[in-house]
């Protein structure tokens, strides 16, 4: 049975992250929720959506700064120039820094599978990468991937059309060494939107999958952490909570992809994240 997933827009991740990093969770929550509800109901193009999200971010940070100034001024009345010190340039810098911090992983959650953070691929079991004879698969002359895209691609941050690990058929396996031993709390699977697909289809996206905690690379049974379904008409980035919480921490997890959305030749895995709390 497929597990429930968080169907909210990815921009909700930013809302949660900003609250936890910069703002008292009890402050501004109603206003921010209302703002992000507007984003979620947008039916316009992706470009306009991104612009709207930027405006919301600016509004939230602006309100936060005003709240901060109000709280700081009574503490030190000698700093009477504080109000005037936050210029438009300062505001742009604050917003930029907040966005850069958030964009490091888009979810606002630590990814313990990320290669640059210390994660690594230990095994693909019997999964076979899909590559044409010339080492490059193309549609209408546009490259979708090359043999340079190894399984490591799935734990790297650059999610661009064609930059995926493609394996033959609809079933594949990935054993990941995490950067730390953790108590898993959730997973994020990301695929490009259909609007960015050169072929106009994303039927090679994973569909049904499960995640397992392993005691070693040779552990072929493991502990089931959850079974899920990646919705092809959902957001490109979908978060899934752990279904079976365990008191045992893990430093190895296995992603098992059981099916895709209809492609008979291959499946493309763009990005898989593992979240949790360190043991």
Q: Are residues 131 and 258 in the same domain?
A: yes
Name the 3-class secondary structure at 133.
coil
In a domain, 31, yes or no: yes
Structural domain tally of the chain? 2
At 232, give phi and psi (nearest 5°). Answer: -70, -30
Q: How far is the C-alpha of 175 from the C-alpha of 126, rounded, in Å? A: 11
Q: Are residues 224 and 200 in the same domain?
A: yes
Task: Please tell me the predicted confidence (pLDDT) of residue 79.
Answer: 44
Q: Are residues 92 and 190 in the same domain?
A: no
Task: Please tell me the predicted confidence (pLDDT) of residue 199.
Answer: 83
Give me the domain span that covers residue 20.
10-36+82-104
- How far is residue 220 from each of residues 85, 139, 165, measured CA to CA in Å? 60, 37, 22
Q: Are residues 128 and 159 in the same domain?
A: yes
In a domain, 228, yes or no: yes
Q: How far is the C-alpha of 96 from the C-alpha of 78, rounded, in Å? A: 30
Q: Are residues 240 and 125 in the same domain?
A: yes
Task: Please tell me the predicted confidence (pLDDT) of residue 106.
Answer: 79
Q: Are residues 93 and 123 in the same domain?
A: no
Task: Please tell me the predicted confidence (pLDDT) of residue 98.
Answer: 64
Tell me the range of 29-38, 68-77, 94-103, 109-118 where mean pLDDT is highest.
109-118
Q: Is the pLDDT of residue 47 over 80?
A: no
Q: Are residues 131 and 243 in the same domain?
A: yes
157 vs 141, more confident = 157
Taking the model in full, what pTM does it have? 0.65
pLDDT digits (tens, 9 = 90+) for 150-186: 899 999 988 889 899 999 999 999 999 999 999 999 9
């Amino acid at each position: 049975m497929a597990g429930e997933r968080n169907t909210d827009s990815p921009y909700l991740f930013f809302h949660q992250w900003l609250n936890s990093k910069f703002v008292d969770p009890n402050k501004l929550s109603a206003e921010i929720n209302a703002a992000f509800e507007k984003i979620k109901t947008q039916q316009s193009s992706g470009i306009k959506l991104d612009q709207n999200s930027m405006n919301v971010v600016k509004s939230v940070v602006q309100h936060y700064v005003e709240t901060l100034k109000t709280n700081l001024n009574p503490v030190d009345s000698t700093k009477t120039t504080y109000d005037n010190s936050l210029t438009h340039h300062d505001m742009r810098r604050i917003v930029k820094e907040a966005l850069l911090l958030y964009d490091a992983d888009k979810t606002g959650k630590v990814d313990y599978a990320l290669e640059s953070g210390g994660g690594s691929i230990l095994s693909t079991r019997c999964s076979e990468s899909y590559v044409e004879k010339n080492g490059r698969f193309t549609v209408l002359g546009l490259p979708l991937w090359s043999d340079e895209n190894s399984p490591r691609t799935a734990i790297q941050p650059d999610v661009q059309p064609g930059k995926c690990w493609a394996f033959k058929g609809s079933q594949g396996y990935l054993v990941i060494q995490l950067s730390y031993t953790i108590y898993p709390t959730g997973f994020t699977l990301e695929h490009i939107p259909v609007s960015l697909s050169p072929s106009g289809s994303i039927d090679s996206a994973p569909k049904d999958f499960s995640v397992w905690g392993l005691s070693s690379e040779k552990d072929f049974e493991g502990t089931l952490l959850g079974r899920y379904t990646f919705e092809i008409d959902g957001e490109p980035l979908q978060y899934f909570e752990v279904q079976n919480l365990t008191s045992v921490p893990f430093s190895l997890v296995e992603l098992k992809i059981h099916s895709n959305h209809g492609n008979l030749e291959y499946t493309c895995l763009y990005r898989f994240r593992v979240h949790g709390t360190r043991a």
